[in-house]
Amino acid sequence: MIFTTHRSHWRRFRPLRRRKQELKWRDRRQDTQHLVAPEPVVFTPVREDIFDRAEQEVLALLQRRPEVHALDKEINRLRARHQKSGLARDGLVALLAQAPRAVLAQLQMDQFPHGYRNKQERLFELIDFNDTLVGVILALDDAHRQLFAEAVKQAADRICKRVGAPCFTNEQWTAIIRGLTREVAVYSAATEHGFDAWLTDRVHDALGVDMQVRDPESGRYINIDVKTPSSFRHRMEQLVHENRLTERELLHGDQQNYIIEHNGRGKRRVEVVVLCILPDLFGELADWHFVNPAPMRDMLNKLIREHGLTDRRYGTPLA
């Protein structure tokens, strides 16, 4: 698979190369000791709510082998269960199981922003983590959405420590929540106002398409990449640096609050509306929703009217 561009926050990594002297000898007795008697992080259920029950299920999977690889073997099964049931609890279990792997990927991505081995595999792992998170949010009620960010961060930290993996920093977690809050808000505004909306597959996501939104009357649709203001500015500057956007187009993008970019090649070439979620234009958010979704409804109508596609590729996974 060949991708000409990726969303900037999915920059990936290659593994660290250890010096030869570090590979000569390793104390396997310590490994055995950890397998027989791992150091569990104390987990005392406080609320016995959906978050606690999900964490307890993940911890049960780690009773015999408290290792990252022990969770890796369960991720596909847990994600499939969530996709079949659509239940928030199943999604939370899958999300917490993916957390250690996602943290390790994020750390190496930050350390090697310009290249790494197994790029596509790592990219899809982080996309799957975010997709699971969005699926959970859409299945939760507003009361649990208010608790989500803090409760899941604490649970993910305990899971990561139990398997000997680092945790998301507060900055990393805040960036994830901030970006996905806007993605959920746009999706919700679209569906609440009668548009068809599809949260895309991992191949679309790797090409910068968070979702597709379609006007059911005209059949025209747009591919949308949702950006915070800082991410939007960074993306435009990156495209200018790559000679894919002119300075004049950058200024125009600032004025109209979106730009059009083309990603991929051949049958996988897609036109993407990179949309900046500017508070001055779309208002405030609360519980993963726009307080007033009307401005987003108006923007979606405008974008579909001016840039809507009619190639019959709405809701269709890329081959």
Instruction: Decide the pairing of beta strands 285-286 and 221-227.
Output: unpaired
DSSP 67: S
pLDDT for 66: 83
- Which residue type is seen at 128? D
Q: What is the dihedral of CA 14, 122, 315, 149, to 10 degrees?
A: -120
CA 84, 227, 299: angle at the middle one, nearest 5? 90
The reported pLDDT for the residue numbered 105 is 85
Report pLDDT digits (tens) over 264-297: 999 899 999 999 999 999 999 999 999 999 999 9
Model confidence pTM above 0.95: no
| Angle at the Cα of 72 from the Cα atoms of 70 and 76, rounded to 5 degrees | 125
HSE-CB at 67 with a 13 A cutoff on CA atoms is 13
Q: Which residues pair with 276 in a beta bridge?
A: 227
Q: Where does the pLDDT of residue 121 fall: very low under 50, low under 70, confident under 90, or very high at 90 and above?
A: confident
- Pairing assessment for the beta strands 258-263 and 211-214 based on DSSP bridges: unpaired
pLDDT at 185: 98
Handedness of CA 167, 173, 176, 181 (dihedral sign): positive
Q: For the residues 73-99, what does the mean pLDDT come to?
A: 96
- Can you tell me the distance from the alpha carbon of 260 to that of 280, in angstroms, rounded to the nearest whole number? 21
Distance CA 87, CA 94 (A): 11
Helix extents (H) in the chain: 20-23, 28-36, 50-61, 68-85, 88-111, 119-139, 142-162, 170-192, 202-206, 229-241, 247-256, 279-282, 294-307
pLDDT digits (tens, 9 = 90+) for 92-120: 999 999 999 999 888 877 777 666 667 77
Q: How far apart are the C-alpha atoms of 89 and 86, rounded to whole Å?
A: 9
> Is there a contact between 209 and 314 (Cβ–Cβ < 8 Å)?
no
Q: What is the DSSP letter of 10?
A: G
| Residue bearing tokens 């199981």 | 97
Going 290 to 93 to 224 to 14, the CA torsion angle's sign is positive
What is the per-residue pLDDT for 32? Answer: 43
Q: What is the CA radius of gyration of the chain?
A: 21
